[in-house]
């Protein structure tokens, strides 16, 4: 496959960026998208051109580092797939592919396609603690948890914190991310100790980071590589209202 790449290049957050064009030649359709970028970078380095900076780590769809907007879609055209799991066979020979970083005030560009997503870390840190016994591993059935609670808790815990929900939202809202983190702990007995304080602190931290508001258009769910349901936003809102009511009482 031979492709034309239109890539966002930006030295750092203080400098203006621009789209630059590169050729991706002889690309194996079985390569992942990041492997394709590796091949392009090898060619750039050989020609004395600074390689394209992009984030990656596990390359297994687990870590959430591969934050690329591909042809206007976070993580690209394959639904329920992180960029590192996207294969070049999803494109056609001769295609032009535009690659950009996440676009959000809370995610400033570090360089090229790399953005600073430490805002998510600060939101999680604001969430407080959970109650878990230390020492030897507890017996699996020591804390019975009904399937009706365990299943949605695991679904929410699948969030990898990549930020695709923010990148997809026209308001750069982090509601789906925060809702997933709040909900999976709120559903489990280990998370009950800080349940009310957690949702208040995490929502407050989200607001401090200047993420936008949710307008219920559900772009976040469509872009999420783990297909986290927007129903968790409703769950978080319920937890927030309960916590707020508790403070009044």
Domain of residue 79: give its range. Answer: 3-111
3-9 and 96-100 beta bridge pairing: parallel
Report the alpha-carbon distance of residue 80 to residue 184 in Å, rounded: 20
The domain total for the chain is 2
Same domain, residue pair 244 and 123: yes
- β-partners of residue 131 are none
User: Which region, left, alpha or beta, applies to residue 67 given φ > 0 means left and ψ of -120 to 50 means alpha?
Assistant: beta
Region 122-148 average pLDDT: 80
Looking up residue 25, the CATH number of its domain turns out to be 3.10.20.30
Same domain, residue pair 232 and 139: yes
Q: Which of 53, 81, 111 is the last residue of a domain?
A: 111
**Helix, strand or coil, per DSSP, at residue 119:** helix
Of 18, 31, 169, the C-alpha closest to 100 is 18
**What pLDDT is stored for residue 13 in this prediction?**
85
> 246 falls in which pLDDT band (50, 70, 90)?
low
Element (H, E) at 98: strand 96-100
Same domain, residue pair 168 and 223: yes
Mean pLDDT of the chain: 93
Same domain, residue pair 235 and 183: yes
Same domain, residue pair 107 and 122: no
Which alpha helices (DSSP H) does the chain contain, by range? Answer: 33-46, 118-125, 147-157, 164-168, 175-186, 195-208, 219-223, 231-248
Looking up residue 167, the CATH number of its domain turns out to be 1.10.1060.10
Same domain, residue pair 94 and 151: no
Same domain, residue pair 38 and 99: yes
**What pLDDT is stored for residue 140 in this prediction?**
63
Has residue 37 got a pLDDT over 70? yes
The full DSSP string for 184-244 is HHHTSGGGSTTHHHHHHHHHHHHHHTT-B---S--HHHHH-TT---THHHHHHHHHHHHHH
Of 79, 62, 159, 74, the C-alpha closest to 120 is 159
Alpha-carbon dihedral angle through residues 19, 224, 131, 241, given to the nearest 10 degrees? 100
> 143 falls in which pLDDT band (50, 70, 90)?
confident
Same domain, residue pair 222 and 139: yes
Has residue 247 got a pLDDT over 70? no
Same domain, residue pair 54 and 126: no
Same domain, residue pair 51 and 67: yes
pLDDT above 90 coverage of the chain, percent: 84
Q: Which of 83, 111, 139 is the last residue of a domain?
A: 111
Q: Which of 63, 88, 111 is the last residue of a domain?
A: 111
**Helix, strand or coil, per DSSP, at residue 60:** coil
> 145 falls in which pLDDT band (50, 70, 90)?
confident
Same domain, residue pair 123 and 238: yes
Same domain, residue pair 146 and 203: yes
For 173-230, the pLDDT digits (tens) are: 999 999 999 999 999 888 888 899 999 999 999 999 999 999 999 999 999 999 999 9
**What pLDDT is stored for residue 249 in this prediction?**
44
Report the alpha-carbon distance of residue 61 to residue 70 in Å, rounded: 16
């Amino acid at each position: 496959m031979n492709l034309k790449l239109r890539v966002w290049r930006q030295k750092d957050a203080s400098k203006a960026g621009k789209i630059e064009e590169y050729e991706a030649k002889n690309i194996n359709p079985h390569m992942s998208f990041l492997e394709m970028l590796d091949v392009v970078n090898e060619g750039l380095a050989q020609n004395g051109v600074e390689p394209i900076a992009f984030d990656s780590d596990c390359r297994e769809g687990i870590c959430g580092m591969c934050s690329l907007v591909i042809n206007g879609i976070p993580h690209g055209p394959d639904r329920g797939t992180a960029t590192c799991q996207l294969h070049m066979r999803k494109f056609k020979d001769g295609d032009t592919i535009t690659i950009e970083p996440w676009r959000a005030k809370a995610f400033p560009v570090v360089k090229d396609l790399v953005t600073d997503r430490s805002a998510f870390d600060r939101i999680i840190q604001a969430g407080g603690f959970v109650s878990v016994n230390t020492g030897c591993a507890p017996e699996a059935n020591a804390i019975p948890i009904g399937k009706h609670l365990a299943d949605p808790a695991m679904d929410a815990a699948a969030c990898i914190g990549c930020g695709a929900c923010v990148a997809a939202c026209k308001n750069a809202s982090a509601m789906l991310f925060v809702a997933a983190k709040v909900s999976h702990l709120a559903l489990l007995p280990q998370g009950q100790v800080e349940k009310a304080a957690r949702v208040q602190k995490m929502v407050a931290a989200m607001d401090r980071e200047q993420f936008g508001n949710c307008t219920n258009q559900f772009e976040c769910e469509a872009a999420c590589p783990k297909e986290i349901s927007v129903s968790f936003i409703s769950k978080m809102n319920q937890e927030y209202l309960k916590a707020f009511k508790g403070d009044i009482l």
